[in-house]
Structure 1
Amino acid sequence: MIHSIIKTQQSFSIVHGMPEPENDRDVVWLDVAAPTVEESAMLRQRFGIDTGSKNSSVTEDDSFLYMRSYLLTLDANEVPCFGHVTFVLGQQVVATLNNEEGFHQFSIALQRLNRKQANAQSPKEVLRVLLQVANDSADTAIDRIADELERSAKEISEISDGYNAQGKEMGVTDLLGTMRSLNETEELISKCVEAQLSLARAVRYLGGEVDNVTEAELQAVVNELAGDVVGVKEHAYFEHEKVRYLQNAVTNILNIKQNQIVKVFTIITAVFLPPTLVGTFYGMNFAVMPELSWQHGFIYSMMLTLGAALLPLAYIKKKGWLR
């Protein structure tokens, strides 16, 4: 699928498919998604653009510079998604190539081009706008991930308090679900960092194509864009560190809860071990057991058993092991 963005005297307009051959000079941006064999052949014939896969992240030929990037955006369900996009920079036209029709990274680029037409008078300026849109989309997606982390932090706080809204104690099972969610978020944030590094490389190569003398104004905005990309990357790093902190917090809570469970069973064992020993004595088949003939022998044995249980319990409490 090809969308051609054509510049007229008044505005930028979109043509679904390839434009008429006489309008090729007015094309400033070709948005190509999962091109067919016929579309790829037409792009090569009319514009000289090669849609084939490249062995390197940055390649160039006599007419175009190809920059393959790994980008981040939000899908139709507001879920972060990733896609590989190749930016193609030429003297007359810019193209974006991707192999996924559902990856709509530059859906708002046309509106931005129309709003600030003075900033999109050359292919380099158009590419700068496209890279800015990609960076803004990544920033929005990372903000969405940050919101999810805030909710995870609240869940962890509730688990650390020990009880949920229904008054039921939250245990290891609740923590395992939270840990699994954090692990998925860590992987997602790692991909976000990778995407920003890839985008920063594309911005850096664009800056290398700009003439500092004749295109000083464009160089300034490209440098500003490079700073914005670094800022979003630092935001992703910060969220990654936050995920690590939450993972450590969950691990510590998990260890504490497991230790508490082991402590409870240890105390139960310590309390019931002496009564078990008393019961073992009275379960022996001796010929002479005076307590059997006592009037209150049963009460005596029960009191002895109770005392054998309370003594270790009192010792454990005195040591503060019940806290």
Structure 2
Amino acid sequence: MLTTYTVVEGRLAVRNGVQEHEALRAAVWLDLLNPTAEEERAVQDALRLEVPTREEMQEIESSSRLYREEDALFLTANFLYGVEEGEFGSTPITFVLSQHNLVTVRYATPRAFLGFITRCQKHPPTLLRSADHVMLGLFEMVVDRLADILERVGGDMDSASRTAFRSAKGQARADRRDADLRTALLALGQVGEVTSRASETLLGLSRILTFLGTEKDALIRKENAVAIKTLVRDLRSLVDHANFLSNKANFLLDAILGIIGIDQNGIIKTFTVASVAMMPPTLIASIYGMNFKFMPELDWHFGYPLAILVMIVSAILPVFYFKRKGWL
């Protein structure tokens, strides 16, 4: 779907679908979401630039993601999306920046894009005054959303750790404790996945801003230099925070796995002690279960109860020994 955003007499004009070349050239922002071949061709013919295909956007080498063609900059990075819906992922988005137009090519909708569109409806002359300003505004919204996501992820991780350690320290039933540890592990797994994808987005934005800093041409206006510096500073702080969350998640994961290992060792130790305690009675029962013709104990009047008593005593003695050693 092709959507164009233009400021007409101080108001935002939004149009969908293929339009005439003059209307496309007059638009400050052209947003291509899952574009058709006809929409791509219309944008290319109107702006005289090549819209990258989905396969080209997925290439990972830097030269295929950040480059210049004539008077346009092609900037591609992976962006996190779908965290609020619970089905998150990363999608490549390309920003094609020219002197008067910004073209975005995407196949998913991060929440930051919806937030920026809402802001444009309230303040169109301010946010849509130039193509580079729109692009930086989108970057700022992405950074703000990532900061919110990392804050929420940190809160989820703290909640999971409290649940796991409280269950481990308490006297909860085994099934309840296992459920709490399982919930904590799933939460930490999601935290790790979201953090890694957020770090990927932050890294991509950092590369784009570094590339823009090396270009230093008329496509980036001087009044936006301060915004770029602010973005770089915010990105660095978020990268540090994402690394902190990742390290904390790994520590908590190791701690929870250690707790699970201790519980499993306790269960195995109990079975081991029980097995060792049953070995002497088993030996005695095996001896008196032999079918030899001449066994003196067979004629004893109290042979059967005596054998039972010996087996019970031989089972109890190892248990007392293990308790004295502190193994139980």
Q: Same fold (TM over 0.5)?
A: yes
What are the within-5 Å matches in structure 2 for residues 293-304 of structure 1? Answer: 293-294=300-301, 296-304=302-310
The one-letter amino acid of 1:95's match is V
CA distance in 2, matches of 1:206, 1:192: 21
Residues 104 and 170 (structure 1), Cα distance of their counterparts in 2 relative to 1, 3 Å cut: closer
CA distance in 2, matches of 1:20, 1:163: 72
Determine which of 142, 145, 170 is the counterpart of 1:137.
Answer: 145
Residue aligning to 2:7: 7
What is the CA-CA distance between 1:236 and the residue it aligns to?
Answer: 2.1
What is the CA-CA distance between 1:50 and the residue it aligns to?
Answer: 1.6
1:108 aligns with 2:115: yes
What's the RMSD between the two structures over aligned residues? 3.0
The one-letter amino acid of 1:248's match is D
Say which structure is richer in helix.
Answer: 2
| Identical-pair percentage | 24
Please, what TM-score do these two structures have when normalized by structure 1?
0.84
Q: Residue 50 of structure 2: SS of its match in structure 1?
A: coil
Please, what TM-score do these two structures have when normalized by structure 2?
0.83
What are the within-5 Å matches in structure 2 for residues 147-296 of structure 1? Answer: 147-157=155-165, 159-161=167-169, 167-170=173-176, 179=185, 182-183=188-189, 185-210=191-216, 215-284=221-290, 285=292, 287-290=294-297, 292-294=299-301, 296=302
What is the CA-CA distance between 1:189 and the residue it aligns to?
Answer: 2.5
Q: Residue 52 of structure 2: SS of its match in structure 1?
A: coil
**Unpaired segments of 5 or more residues in structure 1?**
none
Q: Kindly indicate whether the alpha-carbon contact (under 8 Å) linking 1:172 and 1:258 is maintained by their aligned counterparts in 2.
A: no
Residues 193 and 185 (structure 1), Cα distance of their counterparts in 2 relative to 1, 3 Å cut: same
Q: Kindly indicate whether the alpha-carbon contact (under 8 Å) linking 1:86 and 1:97 is maintained by their aligned counterparts in 2.
A: yes
Larger mean Cα displacement after TM superposition, 11-20 or 308-317? 11-20
Residue aligning to 1:57: 65
Residues 24 and 52 (structure 1), Cα distance of their counterparts in 2 relative to 1, 3 Å cut: closer
What is the CA-CA distance between 1:220 and the residue it aligns to?
Answer: 1.2
1:12-67, Cα deviation, whole Å (9 max, x unpaired)? 33222345544445411111112111111111111123212346011211121000
Q: Residue 6 of structure 1: SS of its match in structure 2?
A: strand
Q: Kindly indicate whether the alpha-carbon contact (under 8 Å) linking 1:210 and 1:219 is maintained by their aligned counterparts in 2.
A: no
Aligned residues: 317
What is the CA-CA distance between 1:254 and the residue it aligns to?
Answer: 2.3
Runs of at least 4 residues of structure 1 off by over 6 A?
171-174
What is the CA-CA distance between 1:211 and the residue it aligns to?
Answer: 6.3
The one-letter amino acid of 2:80's match is L
CA distance in 2, matches of 1:107, 1:209: 29
Larger mean Cα displacement after TM superposition, 224-233 or 75-84? 75-84
